Structure 1
Amino acid sequence: MFKVQELREIIKLVDASSIDEFVYEHDGAKIKLKKNIEVVTEVVAAPKAQVAPVVQQPAPVAAPTPAPVVEVTAAPKAEENKAAQTNVDESLHKITSPMVGTFYQSPSPDAAPYVKVGDSVGDESIVCIVEAMKLFNEIEAEVKGQIVEVLVKDGQLVEYGQPLFLVKPE
């Protein structure tokens, strides 16, 4: 099976290249990445390990440059998050992820979260960290307001342009 770090490096290389499709097979495991088309991923695990289902998701429509995405297992929570986001009040500001990575709500596992529902934030307030390729990127609110909802869980993988927080602007 592939390590998360290896998958991230492959995604970054494919994204930076001019190719639209990449297929890699090793020891019975297969990765297939496609970009700039409707179906963006397909992952099949080795038969001797646990077999992961084929995951196919539509490409994000609003993203200016869609990045290739790899899902190792089916994630019903992601579908629930998308369903919750469709009923969002349009007056709320969405703080989105500027990159593919892992969402962390606090600077360390034993520290308090940067923000929680009901907290007021300024335009330069740090609301979370997105870790990509062992770099921890602090994400700022970029708007003054009050946190209405946290849309992702701590340690969850997030995609480029994925909403992380909803903020009621002041």
Structure 2
Amino acid sequence: MFKIQEVRELIKLIDNSNIDEFEYTLDGATIRMKKQISTALTYEAPRSMIVEEKAAATESIPVSVPVSVPVQEAPKAATSEDNLHKITSPMVGTFYASPSPDASAYVKVGDRISADTVVCIVEAMKLFNEIEAEVEGEIVEILVKNGQLVEYGQPLFLVR
């Protein structure tokens, strides 16, 4: 059976990841999570664990617990875009700010970059394409979130 602290940790991990659906079974108990604007956590415990320990029934009782998932606001545009260069996506795909989930981002706001600096990865059809800045300057704003789908030509970064 899951402890409440374990369930809370799973919720935090899934909420902070790019995973949309998650299912985990341990000793006959199952947790299912699915990200949506209004998300519900389903926990199915064997009836034997709920009613009596000596009961041999293997039925499960679904229990729904509402989970609050914050809706992310769109990034705000820079106030003066006249003297800023936009680094755009060269393809349709998924934007990743770092080479792996546990690694730090390639760049962050305030970083100085050169033309050959890798600023992100865009994954398309299971191919991870490193995107280079192709311009020198300072990252002023990151316009997309990690794991967000991007379109061809969509601005990713603003550089001064």
TM-score by length of 1: 0.49
Letter in 1 for 2:133: A
CA distance in 2, matches of 1:88, 1:164: 16
Match of 1:104 among 91, 96, 102: 96
Structure 1 stretches of 5 or more lacking a match?
Answer: 1-75
* SS of 1:155 mapped into structure 2: coil
User: Are 2:159 and 1:153 equivalent residues in the alignment?
Assistant: no
Structure holding more helix per residue:
1
Structure 2 stretches of 5 or more lacking a match?
Answer: 1-70
Letter in 1 for 2:136: K
Identity across matched positions, percent: 69
* SS of 1:95 mapped into structure 2: strand
Residue in structure 1 matched with residue 33 of structure 2 by the alignment: none
Report deviation, 1:92. 0.2
Greater CA radius of gyration, 1 or 2? 2
Could you say what the CA RMSD is over the residues aligned between the two structures, in angstroms?
Answer: 1.9
Superposition pairs for residues 16-165 of structure 1, below 5 Å?
80-81=74-75, 84-85=76-77, 88-165=80-157
Report deviation, 1:87. 5.3
CA distance in 2, matches of 1:110, 1:121: 22
Letter in 2 for 1:122: S
1:92-116 residue CA offsets vs partner (Å, 9 max, x unmatched): 0000000000000000000000000
* SS of 2:95 mapped into structure 1: strand
Letter in 2 for 1:101: G
* Contact 2:78/2:141 (8 A) holds in 1: no
CA distance in 2, matches of 1:147, 1:158: 19
CA distance in 2, matches of 1:162, 1:88: 18
- The aligned length equals 90
TM-score by length of 2: 0.52
1:50-95 residue CA offsets vs partner (Å, 9 max, x unmatched): xxxxxxxxxxxxxxxxxxxxxxxxxx979x45xx448551210000
* Contact 2:143/2:155 (8 A) holds in 1: yes
CA distance in 1, matches of 2:93, 2:82: 26
